[in-house]
Structure 1
Amino acid sequence: MRIAVLSGAGISAESGVPTFRDDKTGLWAKYDPYELSSTDGWQSHPERVWAWYLWRHHLVERVQPNDGHRAVAAWQDYADVTVITQNVDNLHERAGSTTVHHLHGSLFEFWCDTCGSRFHGPLPDMPEPELEKMPPQCDICGGLIRPGIVWFGEQLPDEPWQAAVEAAATADVLVVVGTSAVVYPAAGLPEVALAQGVIVVEVNPEQTPLSGTATLSIRESASTALPRLLPQLPELLAN
């Protein structure tokens, strides 16, 4: 059995990783997402954008995968599992998933914004959030080191996207978990799957635009639904 999993912010929120909107409290409350997550914002205030992402990098390091992440990793004992995630954390990998495609980049990859050289640290610690912190400089060209995140105004990385489309189109089951199903192009992957006759299972406590077309919608959290989902899949495939 081939299972593709499309995960969004909801699954990581259960581990204590705030969604972008929830994380806009306190120190950064007066800044809109575009200002902190765009090429324009980086060019105007790199010290502010770097501080924001360095804080989130260290925040993710302090949390742990939850039962939802661990369930997806455990499915690998019984099926061919490909994870497609909109999240920029590494919780799927830390839970044990081996094939993970990051559509929106990763908080654990960094490169020079001028020459593109990879940066391997070390990174300064940030035990408490700071509003501004200057990014490190590239050892090769002196450019600024940026987080490996796909910002507003940037294209999705081609290799993860193509792998995601292939996984969604060729799976027996696509499990869509913790995503609002409104952020394109990722939100189009369930449409790709359905067009190929793939069973689409949505796991989300809230109704989304996908709910009306999904084969099955489960109104539960990821950590509640995913550990119980695998035994249900053969029956769905048989119908």
Structure 2
Amino acid sequence: MTPEQARAALNAASRVAVLTGAGVSAESGIPTFRDAQSGHWARFRPEDLASPGAYRQNPALVWEWYAGRYRDVLGAQPNEAHRLLAELERRKGAGFFLATQNVDGLHGRAGSGAHGGRLVELHGNLVSARDEVTGETFALPAPEQLVTPPTSPRGHRMRPNVVWFGELLPEDALAAAQAAFAAAEVALVIGTSAVVYPAAGLAQDTLRGGGMVIEINPEATDLSPRATLSLRDVASRGLATLLG
């Protein structure tokens, strides 16, 4: 399939599903989880900062790490890839579904989920926290007002609203994504290595359902041999090629 044929198929599709990963936010200056482990944090293993066991052992340390990442994402701005995906949702309306592995909230800030389609954050969101007793989520205060560990309006301690190592993805979010990708005529997989399951299996759901899968990633991934088309580019330019 050529890029021109892919563009025509995307234009004609009424059901489009998208999966995004860290590569989409890289152009906004958001480091990946492991890239963020620099300086003081380089001496910690990922499991020391992002697991239920680490949080039980040292919630203050875990919150210090996430408070820094929270400041970073609030200082970043959506990039052209985020904006183009919001525009694609405007075109497709209720037939558009976006599942992201990112926790920076940039898709929502760019307008995704506000134009008739649906946005699902599979791994949570850094700008909110979850009440440890009730499970409710609440927006965090501004970084300069954040006291960690934070307390919910119910008076309970809150944990970061993200999926940690050893935890399952939210059942409702994953089920919605699987249904959307299985029904999609065209699926876009953008800026993700496509190796972390179950999210990595979403593209296969589309292929099994007879749809086509278009990958946008600067480097080859495990999905590349099975994709209908792989565009070797950063997210913003790859999307511009498809939506231009």
Name the TM-score, length of structure 2 as normaliser. 0.86
**Number of equivalenced pairs:** 225
**Is this contact kept in 1: 2:86–2:112, CA < 8 A?**
yes
**Is this contact kept in 2: 1:58–1:126, CA < 8 A?**
no
> Following TM superposition, by how much is the alpha carbon of 1:138 offset from its aligned partner in structure 2, in angstroms?
4.1
Runs of 4+ residues over 4 Å off in structure 1: none
Q: Given the alignment of the two structures, is residue 37 of structure 1 paired with residue 50 of structure 2, yes or no?
A: yes
Provide the identity percentage. 47
**Is this contact kept in 2: 1:7–1:177, CA < 8 A?**
yes
Question: Hey, what does 1:7 align to over in structure 2?
Answer: 20
Q: Given the alignment of the two structures, is residue 136 of structure 1 paired with residue 145 of structure 2, yes or no?
A: no
Q: Secondary structure at the match of 1:100?
A: strand
Unaligned runs of 5+ in 1: 128-132, 232-239
Which letter does structure 1 place at the counterpart of 2:240?
A: P
Q: Per residue, is there more helix in 1 or in 2?
A: 2
> Following TM superposition, by how much is the alpha carbon of 1:90 offset from its aligned partner in structure 2, in angstroms?
1.0
Write the mapping of 1:22-101 to structure 2, written as runs, cut at 5 A: 22-79=35-92, 80-98=95-113, 99-101=118-120
Write the mapping of 1:1-239 to structure 2, written as runs, cut at 5 A: 1-79=14-92, 80-98=95-113, 99-125=118-144, 134-140=148-154, 143-230=156-243
CA distance in 2, matches of 1:219, 1:108: 31
**Is this contact kept in 2: 1:69–1:95, CA < 8 A?**
yes
**CA-atom RMSD, angstroms?**
1.8
Question: Hey, what does 1:234 align to over in structure 2?
Answer: none
Unaligned runs of 5+ in 2: 1-13
**CA spacing shift, 1:74–1:119, aligned 2, 3 Å:** closer
CA distance in 2, matches of 1:21, 1:117: 28
**Is this contact kept in 1: 2:70–2:143, CA < 8 A?**
no
> Following TM superposition, by how much is the alpha carbon of 1:93 offset from its aligned partner in structure 2, in angstroms?
1.1
> Following TM superposition, by how much is the alpha carbon of 1:154 offset from its aligned partner in structure 2, in angstroms?
1.4
**CA spacing shift, 1:219–1:168, aligned 2, 3 Å:** same
**Is this contact kept in 2: 1:55–1:126, CA < 8 A?**
no
**Is this contact kept in 2: 1:7–1:85, CA < 8 A?**
yes
